Amino acid sequence: MKEIVVASTNEGKIREIKAMLNEIGIEVKSIKDVFDEEIEIEETGKTFQENAYIKAKTICDMIHLPTLADDSGLEVDALNGEPGIYSARFMGHDTSYDIKNQYIIDAVKGKEKGARFVCAMALCIPDEEPIFIEEYFNGEINDCIEGENGFGYDPIFYVPELHKTSASLTLEEKNQYSHRAKALKKLYQILKEK
């Protein structure tokens, strides 16, 4: 396998995947490199894994090249696993993460603070069985918004063993502990053996 198309337009995500897979000689392209127009894929799955598979399979069927997709988000125990697969759309697409984050902080006050980031990946290869990976980054909801690194829910996701939020981690720390970094390491090992 010489190249993989990532079913995403998220620059940060593509940069992370490129850094890992270029090491084993796999060229990584985004869907922007393959399509002239924007491709909208409806995520109708009930799990992160189903949504990752829907994205990867849809693009793979269109271009007949190995396609990787991930679906990730935050699950909060006190909110029965919400925002979950709706993490990006939680409280509406146009709602700022400052508002979403403050809402979650307020919602867990006096309750169980356990939470986890989930990253599910699906790699579809023409005429082969898909490869599925799922990894977790466990922590808890912080009492306040804290940290300048990262994005989304990182400023409220507290990592007890590091005594700071995900948004306060260095890139090196994030690449060691995060759900996406763990999933990418697994993918790297699988592709290295192929």
Q: What amino acid positions are annotated as catalytic residues?
A: 71
- Long-range contact pairs involving 53-58 (C-beta distance under 8 Å, separation at least 24): 53/122, 53/124, 53/130, 53/132, 55/7, 55/8, 55/122, 56/7, 56/122, 56/123, 56/124, 56/130, 57/122, 57/124, 57/130, 58/7
DSSP 8-state assignment for residue 154: G
* Rounded-to-integer distance, Cα 73 and Cα 48, Å: 8
* Rounded-to-integer distance, Cα 176 and Cα 157, Å: 16
Helix ranges restricted to H, 64-178 = 97-108, 171-177
